Structure 1
Amino acid sequence: MGRPRSIDRDRVLDLAERIVREEGATALTFDSLCKAAGITKGGLQYCFGSKDDLIAAMADRWLKDFDAEIARHVPPDGNGVDQARSYVTVSARIDEASQTKMAGMLVSLLQSPEHMGKARGWYAEWLKRLEPGSEAERRARTAFFAAEGAFFLRSLGLVEMDQAGWDRVFDDILKLL
């Protein structure tokens, strides 16, 4: 008897992201992902449960990578202002395709109270770091909100902005810090 086949979650998540990036969020179905990954629908359901859970896993991985990138730019003795500066710097470097993908995933996840709670928790952790005890910390909190607003406005297609415009907006946000 052979060893049971195992599913590589990261490979499946990579393929799911590729489908969203190349074909759009509506193209991401269990059937399309099973075909791309060469796995059964039962195997995919065993690994992720539901499509919402798959999208949550994609978002969790993206946020974990995002947080790790921010941490790489914060000095060892960095304070909330340093963390906000890193947050804005890293946010400015996110390409438009990644923004659209992440915003689409977040919008779909926020329809679920469980996933809404996770998103609120992630933001709550950030806002704890930006308690406004000084003028610099108030500016850091404002920069954080400005970066998030720019991210969502562009990602959701509510404003059109080329890369040069995006860079100018984030240069202005960084001046707050």
Structure 2
Amino acid sequence: MGRPRTIDRDKVLDVAEEIVRREGATALTFDAVAKAAGITKGGLQYCFGSKDDLIAAMVERWFVAFDAEVARNTAADADSLEHVRGYVVASSRIDEATQTKMAGMLVTLLQSPEYLQRVRDWYAAWIGKFGPDSDAERRARTAFLAAEGAFFLRSLGLVEMDQDQWDGVFEDILKLL
């Protein structure tokens, strides 16, 4: 009897992200991911449980990577304004394909109360950084919300924006800080 084959979660997540990027969130099925990853559907289900769990793992990995990018753009002892500056800079660097992929996965994920709470908690942690008692903190909150608004409007195809327009929007947002 041979050694059981192990499943590389990151590789499977890469494959799932590629499916979403190439074909859209509706193409993300266990069958499609298993086939593209070269594993059985049962192995995929053992690894992730359900399609919602797979999507949650994709979103969680994105949150971790995005938070790390924000940290690379923010000094360790930064105040809330500098944290938002790092957030806006990291947001401005997200390419259109990643935006579309993340928006599609988030929209799918938000249909589940369990996963909706995780996303709410992530946003609450960011909003919690801003106190309402100073102009600077309120500007930071506004810049944060503006960056998120631009992200979702472009990602969901509600506003068409080429790269120059995108860069200009983020330059304007940074001026708030």
Q: Output the TM-score relative to the length of structure 1.
A: 0.98
Shift of 1:2: 2.4
Question: Would you identify which runs of 4 or more consecutive aligned residues in structure 1 move more than 4 Å?
Answer: none
Count of equivalent residues: 177
Alignment of 1:10-159 (within 5 A): 10-159=10-159
**Alpha-carbon distance in 1 for matches of 2:157, 2:12:** 28
- Identify which range, 126-135 or 145-154, moves more after superposition: 126-135
1:46-74 per-residue CA deviation (whole Å, 9 max, x = no partner) reads 00011111011000000100001101111
**Alpha-carbon distance in 1 for matches of 2:40, 2:46:** 10
* 2:47 maps to amino acid: C
Structure 1: segments with no counterpart, 5+ residues: none
**Alpha-carbon distance in 2 for matches of 1:89, 1:175:** 12
The answer as to whether partners of 2:88 and 2:144 remain within 8 angstroms in 1 is yes
**Alpha-carbon distance in 1 for matches of 2:47, 2:157:** 33
Alignment of 1:155-166 (within 5 A): 155-166=155-166
Shift of 1:132: 2.6
- Identify which range, 97-106 or 22-31, moves more after superposition: 22-31
Is the partner of 1:143 in helix, strand or coil? helix
Shift of 1:129: 1.1
**Alpha-carbon distance in 1 for matches of 2:53, 2:133:** 38
Shift of 1:28: 1.4
**Alpha-carbon distance in 2 for matches of 1:12, 1:122:** 24
Identity of aligned residues (%): 72
**Alpha-carbon distance in 1 for matches of 2:106, 2:131:** 25
**Alpha-carbon distance in 2 for matches of 1:20, 1:60:** 16
Aligned-pair Cα RMSD in Å: 0.8
**Alpha-carbon distance in 2 for matches of 1:101, 1:91:** 14
* 2:128 maps to amino acid: K
1:96-120 per-residue CA deviation (whole Å, 9 max, x = no partner) reads 0000000000000110100110011
* 1:66 maps to amino acid: F
